[in-house]
Amino acid sequence: MPLRRRRLAVSATVIAALVGGAATTSAYAAPAPAGSAAPTAAVPSPAPDMEGVAQALDAAMAKGAPGAMARFSGPDGVRTRTAGVRDRVSGAAMDTKARFRIGSVSKTFSSVVLLQLVDEGKVELDAPVNRFVPGLLPDDRITVRHLLTHRSGLADYTDAMFEQTVPGFEAVRNRVFSYQELLDLSLGLPRTTEPGVAYKYSNANFVVVGMLIEQITGRPVAREYERRIFKPLGLRNTSYVHPETGIKGLHVRGYLHPDEAGGALVDSTEQTVSWAQSAGAVVSNPADLNTFMSALMRGRLLSPRMMDAMTTVSPTDVANGRHYGLGLRRYDLSCGTQVYGHTGTVQGFYTYAFATRDGRRSFAATANTSNKSDANTALGGTLEPAFCGKKATTARTLKTRKAEADLPENR
Ligand code: REX
């Protein structure tokens, strides 16, 4: 960059810092078009479009969620939106302080614990899993990294378990599985890929991650989440109480859609989530999820080396800008912003928890339903307005309309 332009860029950053941090520097703003002379000065983050977020929450309700809520945390503070109810019987309104089941967002927590153990030299990412738990897996080529990237080929036993949604759920609602029992369910199925060859999402990978954590530390996963993440970050609304079936304190009730169209919703709040454990049994609330994702991205939980490993992603859905790292998703949004986090689905609850790479903006959204993919897609529609702000098209659309109105044939 020529010296004069570099000075301009630097002074813009300094000014942004001097005005109280309200203007942020986003390293992930859309790159300038090739050949453009645009200076590379810091681009302020767009303010969240909370009306757009609210519309997406309403859309999730229109698709069958009894309620939905979202919380954004950024340089200008916290913004929340709620819609509908957290309890269909009492009629209690959705409440952003309430706790809920975060499903696979738990995978990011498990990944952090395991990557801390890598940082401590107790486990190696590219070593075979069998080196740490001899004879555990039927293939010595499966590495720790293969688990965290869903490239082990270990089949997802939950596909068969929940083939029939409500009977499948009721059969395991109060079951307590050992990790070994869950792994055996997976090993009873054909493996999906050769180790390392392809991404194939499987809960079995994070069951093995739980087994590794317990084997290496000699302590239950619950204890490791507590001492390494919940306590240091002060996450007082986050817990892992497997195999307890209830959610303590103010919480959202979850409602599962049956497969039969028009069938009555099943209250699925109480369950052990033993079928998921370290792959999906954490309970949290929006504020704690914002704190966790921001702290993670700010490097408060892992070394720079482990952050690089965790955020090194491969595409999982090129058309939609979806990627997977180590127990972490990356979504590339339409405005060029990249957000990292995870999604979750557990009976009665859909969740999205994401943050920008600099950790300055974080967002969590949840709806109290599941087995209703339209509602999940609608809920995912909160991410664009949250991180990209108001669509810049409105002004352009008005201008275009005006230009059209001025055309001779329209006069
Ligand atoms: C289990 C079935 C879904 C749910 C599952 N959940 O694998 C994990 C998770 C823990 O959160 N994964 C998601 C049930 C995909 C993620 O990473 O975002 N579905 C339901 C059925 C289908 O019963 N017949 O929708 O509640």
Ligand 1 touching residue 280 (CB < 6 A): yes
Instruction: Please give the number of the atom of ligand 1 that sits closest to the Cα of 349.
Output: 26
Strands 322-324 and 314-317: antiparallel
Tell me the C-alpha distance between 301 and 377, whole Å: 30
Angle formed by the axes of helices 203-217 and 105-119, nearest 10°: 40
**What token pair was written down for 127?**
């070593």
Per-residue pLDDT, 44:
82
Tell me the C-alpha distance between 127 and 296, whole Å: 24
Residues catalogued as catalytic: 104
Spacing, Cα 99 to ligand 1 middle (Å) = 19
Instruction: Please give the number of the atom of ligand 1 that sits closest to the Cα of 345.
Output: 11
Per-residue pLDDT tens digits for 347-388: 999 999 999 999 999 999 999 999 999 999 999 999 999 999
Tell me the C-alpha distance between 267 and 388, whole Å: 35
Ligand 1 touching residue 168 (CB < 6 A): yes
Tell me how crowded residue 264 is: count the other CB atoms within 10 A of its CB.
10
Q: What is the DSSP letter of 242?
A: T
**Residue 157 contacts residue 203 (beta carbons within 8 Å):** yes
CA distances from 322 to 139, 278, 338 (A): 29, 23, 10
Where residue 391 falls among pLDDT bands split at 50, 70, 90?
confident
**Tokens 């493996």, located at residue:** 191
Spacing, Cα 162 to ligand 1 middle (Å) = 9
Per-residue pLDDT tens digits for 24-68: 222 222 233 333 334 445 668 999 999 999 999 999 999 999 999
Nearest-CA residue for ligand 1 atom 25 is 371
In degrees, to the nearest 5, what angle opens at C-alpha 147 toward C-alphas 308 and 140? 120
* First vs last C-alpha separation in the chain: 50
**Residue 133 contacts residue 214 (beta carbons within 8 Å):** no
Instruction: Please give the number of the atom of ligand 1 that sits closest to the Cα of 329.
Output: 17
**What token pair was written down for 26?**
């986003």
Which residues are within 8 A (CB) of 328 and not within 5 positions of it... i.e. 6 or more apart? 108, 111, 310, 311, 313, 340, 341, 342
On the 0-12 / 13-18 / 19+ scale of CB atoms within 10 A, 98 is buried
Average pLDDT over residues 386-405: 61
User: Ligand 1: which of 267, 346, 369 to mutate, most ligand atoms within 8 Å of CB?
Assistant: 346
Nearest-CA residue for ligand 1 atom 23 is 165
**Residue 110 contacts residue 210 (beta carbons within 8 Å):** yes
**Residue 113 contacts residue 228 (beta carbons within 8 Å):** yes
Kind plus residue range of the DSSP H or E element containing 116: helix 105-119
Ligand 1 touching residue 102 (CB < 6 A): no
Q: Which of 300, 295, 327 is nearest to 311 (CA)?
A: 327
Per-residue pLDDT tens digits for 117-138: 999 999 999 999 999 999 999 9
Helices (H) and strands (E) counted in the chain, each on its own, are 16, 13
CA distances from 385 to 34, 195, 235, 359, 379 (A): 27, 38, 26, 18, 11
Does 288 have pLDDT greater than 70? yes
Where residue 18 falls among pLDDT bands split at 50, 70, 90?
very low
Ligand 1 touching residue 346 (CB < 6 A): yes
Instruction: Please give the number of the atom of ligand 1 that sits closest to the Cα of 280.
Output: 10
Per-residue pLDDT tens digits for 254-285: 999 999 999 999 999 999 999 999 999 999 99
